[in-house]
Structure 1
């Protein structure tokens, strides 16, 4: 394996000169720089990435922390982040926390030891105090941590209001809301949007907590529909829980959408693969990922941010789980 000493010998310069060329630090004459560059090409020299990381205290990597990689929303988000990060010269390290604070903190410590240049947090432990003093650029994605940390979210409350209004307009008179985890900002906002509409319109409603898990949603909705057979509409806080509701309705032989109508939230690809296809509030997933990387890179490069709050619009995607044809409506 070619070493830095081999390059120095080939270029007839000192090891220190080669190091200055590689690290772009310190004075090097044009002649010496050209000799070193030619030697690197001739010998096909590859600088030691670990050594360079230790020297610069930077790695060209960013950490992405997500709560549940099994939820299709997060792989779609990760894909957009990876796409734009690679274009900007960064490699993404994906960490699945399972929404466990201890596991999340272990990942953060490991990423710090690897000198990652910054973090994108889409994780959902609900406890963020340890990020307030973290000496590293951080962007919150689909989560709110602090007004001092740049945040990228979608219009969760407006999207929930549009979903609930759509169910009412399609004739639903008793609507259930499958609530996401309490204390998690997106889930709380969707709950608030739902409550605001049903209370203003005087619509009978019931709220049950399912988290963002398909199995729990299926179990809870089966029990719900047995206890409250007149429920004719469901607004789920995620597409995954909406899928669970669809399975429960199918098991109980409740026809969708003629007997019960369902709206999800996220707009992930698999919603279009369900039968019937899922009416949902579509988040701009790709744009959210892109925006979070752009903000993080600005922080890494010590640029001034024009805004720390980025709330992107959602779209109501009408499909087969509600009455009517297919359509996209801005919320």
Structure 2
């Protein structure tokens, strides 16, 4: 028969103090004399008493829990991010709650209030269209948060992102160097700073190499289906386009599907390049050229920054990680016309 597990009442009785005194000692929330502290410590060791961590967290209104809020768990970018965040959180004694929510949820102040009642210690926000009302709600909660991916704002210290503008330049210059003469861009939603920076990189690079050519831009929503539909529309409007830079890999995969349906050869007739570097880009046919984000490093940096904000309350270090161009079959076999 197993020995009965010691309780806080057992410790209090053995030490000759009240339960409240033992609780104050465990949670370190008010002064206790050194003599009483020593007495409680000895009894806890003798009875092999282990405090309930959840109860301790509630006493301090802390739970050692962080929440990751993402817009689309079906996008392979986010599971890769989750792995990194969960590993670092676990290493530092934190648990992770994954929340898959759309923008409408995030704009509702009640959505955030629920997290406060659950004693969430901090947020990693991977998608969010910030406005003054929501920023005020977050500040009132006094819960630290770090912004990544679509939620990134390069003008704030609590963001961890990449140089999206530079990445877009690399993508368009690659298409130009292949010999593409009419390059279009399928962008992300204009409410997200990374999408804006990628569009700006496309426009500036096009202006540099084709100063009299008008930019060809169709706005997508980062989903595969929009890449497919917008590629079809793009080629109806501009059948002579020979290079497409898409603002993320999922839309680029949708574009590949559309071109296959239209019997247009990639890369012989049109060169395609995406952005993100998700693993599925190596599994499609043809393999997709892309601008690779260091997804794992983003997750690690964001989690370390958030935990530092939770525990130290001050972290002004800015993170802007480098991207890299990976050339694969979707561009490397392009044959310039004329």
TM-score between both structures, scaled by the size of structure 2: 0.87
Supply the distance in 2 between the matched residues of 1:102 and 1:138 (Cα, whole angstroms): 14
**Secondary structure of 1:229 counterpart:** coil
Matches within 5 A, 1:135-214: 135-142=142-149, 143-145=151-153, 147=155, 149-202=157-210, 204=213, 205-214=215-224
Equivalent residues of 1:156, 1:190 under 8 A apart: yes
Q: 1:146 to 1:194 in 2, by over 3 A?
A: closer
Which runs of structure 2 are paired with 1:80-91 in the superposition (5 Å)?
80-91=84-95
Q: Is the 8 A contact 1:64 1:95 kept in 2?
A: yes
Counterpart for residue 321 of structure 1: 330
Residues 293-320 of structure 1 deviation map (CA, whole Å, 9 limit, x = unaligned): 111111111253242x311110111111
Unaligned runs of 5+ in 2: none
CA separation in 1, counterparts of 2:292 and 2:156? Answer: 28
Q: Distance in 1 between matches of 2:184 and 2:303?
A: 36
Which residue in the other structure is 1:123 paired with?
Answer: 127
* 1:151-175: CA deviation from partner (whole Å, max 9, x where unpaired): 1110100000000000010111111
Match of 1:71 in 2: 75
**How far apart in 2 are the matches of 1:145 and 1:273?**
32
Q: Is the 8 A contact 1:138 1:149 kept in 2?
A: no
Task: Name the structure 1 match of 2:314.
Answer: 304
Quickly say closer, same or farther: Cα 1:115–1:154, change in 2 above 3 A: same
Aligned to 2:270: 260
> 1-side partners of 2:61 and 2:154: how far apart?
26
Cα deviation for residue 12 of structure 1 reads: 6.0
1:18 aligned residue (16, 22, 31): 22
In structure 1, what is the Cα distance between the partners aligned to 2:165 and 2:225? 25
Shift of residue 71 of structure 1?
1.5
Deviating more after overlay: 164-173 vs 112-121: 112-121
TM-score (norm 1): 0.89
Deviation per CA, 1:58-78: give whole Å up to 9, x if none.
Answer: 110111111222221112112
Q: Is the 8 A contact 1:97 1:103 kept in 2?
A: no
**Alignment length (residue pairs):** 320
**RMSD over equivalenced CA pairs, Å:** 2.3
